[in-house]
Structure 1
Amino acid sequence: MNLIFNIVFLVFFVNTLFAIVTVFKEKRDIAATWAWLLVLNLLPGIGFLIYLFAGKKISKERIFDIKVQEKLGIDQLVSLQKEQWSEKELLPYDVLTNEAQQTARLFLDADQAIFTNHNEVKVFTDGKDKFSKLLDDIQHAKDHIHIEYYTFYSDKIGHQILQALQEAQKRGVTVRVIYDSMGSRGQTRHFFKPLEELGGQAEPFFGSKKSYFHSPRLNYRDHRKIVVIDGVIGYIGGFNIGDQYLGRLEKFGYWRDTHLRVVGNAAVALQSQFFMDWNATVKNSPESAPIEYADRYFPLQRGQGTTGIQIVSSGPDNETEAIKLGYLKMISNAHDYIYIQTPYLIPDDSVMETLGVAALSGVKVKIMIPSKPDHAFVYRATEYYAQELLEKNVEIYKYDNGFMHAKTMVVDGQMCSVGSANLDFRSFKLNFEVNAFCYDRKLTIELTDIFAQDLNNCTKLTPEYFSKQSRWMKFKQYFSRLLSPIL
């Protein structure tokens, strides 16, 4: 008996020692540190395998490769805008509130996100409408098409988009595609081969063309959704390329998402982000070359619209969590209301506190989440935080008409954000994201009205809703919450 006890104690001691060494040898915040220690100690041996796939950080060399990619075509504009800012020549001060001006300056300093004005913006909330317009724009492209998606499945809509890209390449249009190998898992090995045989280029982000198994990391994924056509038209938002985003999978039903089509200089900012991601991706590729700056990629123009936009990015390559800072700034500046749609509600302490302060101060804070999970642990953690926010006077609604995947925030009818970043740890710290922060009352009111329409398909959560849940369900929520920093 003593021998068995000693063996168990020794195994536990050695496992704990290795867990401490493994976790503390890489810099991370305290919440993630404790979460990984919990996993490694609760699951001896197996926990280290999980850490290998989901916990190990990108090497400093790899991050540096991404960091050094210059914002081609943007650097001089950033310097110029900072000069114009000091002389009050940059922003339409008669239109933007003081809070919006402060937010715009935050992004200019924190992310070198240039302010672009006179953009035309079209909002898509339905996959059929979004893909129909995207296909039309691809068919009318004249010079180049740059596409970057977390998910590019080889299903019906995937083949339809691929066919349109092949036709464009045949017309002499330059086609480049970045896809995330983990997000596009299950994709056939030679899916992009017909496009490449025509001269087009397709590269997996942090992966291998041979198989997604060559990219085992669960974290540090390219979660961005970017399309740039001729440097004039840009797409950004939550839709990926796959049949489920058209509501064709019974598991999810109708897919409710939000995407923007932008015509104007905001497309130039999206182009810059694509340049950086492409050049980092093809660094070791023998088949694709980096893009070099050319005027045709950055055709500065004065659009016919009225929307001011900043394209803001964030990711593990930068310790400044620019998108999260933007969310915090918008929330803290709100006077009347804050409406948020997110599929994953797993905020860190700073976001939780800021939302709570806003709600307790009389600001109407409404958050819409899905009514069904696509990831079990993530959804249980979402429920936990929803209940916590409910106690802080935040109104929580679950969307019943399918799956809610939109990532939007609207504040006071003045500012809004649409992009790829969820309100969770993963989007703040672990994945590469991009959002459009928009300064336009008309667009913000449109998104506010869309939120109000979605409320007709929602159930408002109450304390009674959570009190009726089983003890087992509550245990899963509490346990998932402990793992939230690494979910």
Structure 2
Amino acid sequence: MKQIRGMLRVIFGRTTFGAIALIAQIVILFAAYRFLSRYLAYFYGGFTLLSALVIIYILNKEENPIFKLTWMIPIAAVPVFGMLFYLFVELQIIGKLMNKKLRINMENTEKYLVQSPKVMENLSRMSRQNANLARYIKNSSHYPAYGSTNVKYFSLGETMFAAMKKELEEARRFIFMEFFIVERGEMWNEILEILERKAKEGVEVRFMYDGMCSLTLLPYGYTKELQKKGIKAKIFSPIKPVLTTYQNNRDHRKILVVDGHTAFTGGMNLADEYINRRVRFGHWKDTGIMLKGDAAASFTMMFLEMWNISETEPEDYSKYLRDPEYFYPLELSMEGFVIPYADSPLDEESVGEQVYLDIINSARQYVHIMTPYLILDYGMVKALAFAAKRGVDTVIIMPRIPDKKYAFLLARSHYGELLRAGVRIYEYLPGFMHAKVFTSDNTKAVVGTINMDFRSLYLHFECAAYLYCNEAVRDIERDFQETLAQSRRVTLEDLSQYPWYERFAGRALRLFAPLM
């Protein structure tokens, strides 16, 4: 009986009806195309000319060439349907309206994110290259470089979870949380109990999660349950059964801010596998950081800017600055520099990719990377290959047990070119590598939410922190070396032993790489 009830919930659930609605819309579009095809002979010349004009327009757009190729192939192969579908995507306005509201919110927070001349003077004196990167991030992503910030690195989700709970318990004014995945279980239950208790104590609690959760992990009306507990809750971009492109831009960020003085980010979502209380793909390797100090202000404003995309009332951002009476423990090291940044898929700047490329291209001794996915464009492949060819120790740690088979096959299709160039690739033997970490030359590192794939670099809202000459960089590199000791090196001989159909599938999937 229980199995029957479960089956009925699937059959008559919201996700099923949403999928049916989407399929129906695709069928209608295809039917319209079939109808037009009857008269194609009369208008063939016109459609051919229009398709050619669309292809010329795509060729001249300022975007990644692989995105151009992904559109040009269907337009050339099926001129009418391909052209109409492209125009349908290009004319979407919801994403443009969302971007406009986000830009307005960023303008409203700009006065709280002014770059300190003293910090830039100190950074320029230590490294002109890193000062230039800081200027780029400020100009493109709106967030300044900071000193006076302590960074604590967490090499496992379990240790970060313990630190998060401790900081939540000490909250006195407000708690902001923004996560991609939330799933009910031990981890979320423990956090929810603290949030509910803090809300009753008068702490302002805001919680936002991505709309993908409402498909399979949480009930669609779960925000109402949270609101009854005193938590201000909302879904970012709820999934709706409508053919539209803006729903492809998910909020992949992970942010926790407490009282404006402490912020967390990293790869960890709020589900039991991230702290290894549930085993899905072997041991789950995740990482994160805690910032205490001036840099927490950027994550405060980062959260509020996204929260207010769907709000109409003005926000008093000044209420959420750090309390000037709050003093950090004297034993905390505030040396070095921290540059938080966010990346939006709605503008024309791929900040996450540019920061990664800057690290790779400026590396002199090594660039070490941990990432769950390796779905790369031509520029990233060539940058990694060139780093290895000029003698930089270029090492990537990938999962041994993947969470998505198709993404793993696609990643392995890049292995050959990288290995031949001298890049060393390892696979994490205990299980799944979910960390998103760069470290280089004992001086710089990035920890955040940005995977090395098209979705993170181009399609999702993301965030991270760039660290320079900070003590935490040594901790990150130490963790990399310890993780490397638990990983197996991939060789060209290994590639030749992969089944032929897997190798073929990986290369065929490159056509759809921009969607993965």
Alignment TM class, shorter chain as reference: 0.7 to 0.9
Matched, 1:148 2:178: yes
Rounded to whole Å, the distance in 2 between the matches of 1:190 and 1:326 is 38
Matches within 5 A, 1:387-466: 387-466=416-495
Q: CA deviation at 1:142?
A: 0.3
Structure 1 segment 201-280 matched on structure 2, within 5 A = 201-207=232-238, 219-280=248-309
What aligned pairs does 1:243-392 form with structure 2 within 5 A after superposition?
243-283=272-312, 291-299=315-323, 304=332, 305-392=334-421
Q: Does 1:170 align with 2:194?
A: no
Q: 2:22 corresponds to which residue?
A: none
Provide the C-alpha distance between the structure 1 equivalents of 2:273 and 2:89, rounded to a whole number of angstroms: 25
- RMSD between superposed Cα atoms in Å: 3.4
Amino acid aligned to 2:393? K
Deviation at 1:45, TM superposition (A): 12
SS at match of 2:403: coil
* 2:512 paired with 1:477: no
Kindly state the Cα deviation for residue 39 of structure 1 after the two structures are TM-superposed: 6.5
Q: Which residue of the partner structure matches residue 117 of structure 1?
A: 147
What is the alpha-carbon distance in structure 2 between the residues aligned to residue 158 and residue 216 of structure 1? Answer: 31
Alpha carbons 1:339, 1:366 under 8 Å: kept: yes
Q: 2:264, 2:453 → 1: CA distance? A: 23
Runs of 5+ consecutive residues of structure 1 not aligned to the other structure: 1-6, 284-288
The 2-side partners of 1:476 and 1:233 are apart by 45
- Tell me by how many angstroms 1:207 deviates: 1.4
* Equivalent residues of 1:207, 1:214 under 8 A apart: no
Whether the aligned pair in 1 keeps the contact of 2:254 and 2:265 (CA below 8 Å) is yes
For residues 99-119 of structure 1, what are the alpha-carbon distances to aligned partners after superposition, in whole Å with 9 as ceiling and x for unaligned? 323322222222222111121
CA distance in 1 between counterparts of 2:141 and 2:259 reads 24
1:60 & 1:171 partners in 2: Cα distance?
40
Q: Distance in 2 between matches of 1:44 and 1:155?
A: 49
TM score, norm. by length of structure 1: 0.85
Partners of 1:380 and 1:53 lie apart in 2 by 31
Q: Check 1:402–1:24 CA distance in 2 against 1; reply closer, same or farther (3 A cut).
A: farther
> Which amino acid letter does the alignment assign opposite residue 231 of structure 2?
G
Q: SS where residue 151 of structure 1 aligns?
A: coil
The correspondence of residues 3-22 of structure 1 with structure 2, limited to 5 A, is none
Aligned to 1:286: none
Pairs aligned (count):
467
Larger-Rg structure:
2
Paired AA for residue 35 in structure 1: T
Provide Cα deviations, 1:395-415, integer angstroms capped at 9, x if missing partner.
111111121000010010011
Alignment deviations for residues 236-291 of structure 1 (CA, whole Å, 9 cap, x no partner): 111010112122443312210110011111110101101110001335xxxxx553
Aligned-residue sequence identity (percent) comes to 27
Asked if residue 33 in structure 1 is aligned to residue 89 in structure 2, the reply is: no
Q: Confirm whether residue 139 of structure 1 aligns to residue 139 of structure 2.
A: no
Match of 2:15 in 1: none
Secondary structure of the residue aligned to 1:479 is helix
Residue of 63, 85, 98 corresponding to 2:99: 63
Structure 1 residue 193: Cα displacement: 3.1
Cα gap change, 1:224 to 1:71, in 2 (>3 Å): farther
Q: Does the aligned pair in 1 maintain the 2:95–2:346 contact within 8 Å?
A: no
| Shift, 1:315, TM fit | 1.4
SS of the residue corresponding to residue 339 of structure 1 reads strand
| One-letter amino acid of the counterpart of residue 31, structure 1 | I
Q: What is residue 4 of structure 1 aligned with on the other side?
A: none
TM-score by length of 2: 0.81
Q: Any conservation in 2 of the 1:117–1:306 contact (CA below 8 Å)?
A: yes
Residue 92 to residue 132, structure 1, CA distance change in 2 (3 Å): same
* Distance in 2 separating the partners of 1:219 and 1:24: 25
The secondary structure found in structure 2 opposite 1:318 is coil
More helix by share: 2
Q: Distance in 1 between matches of 2:183 and 2:51?
A: 37
Task: Report the AA paired with residue 145 of structure 1.
Answer: I
Question: Which one-letter code corresponds to 2:106 in the other structure?
Answer: E
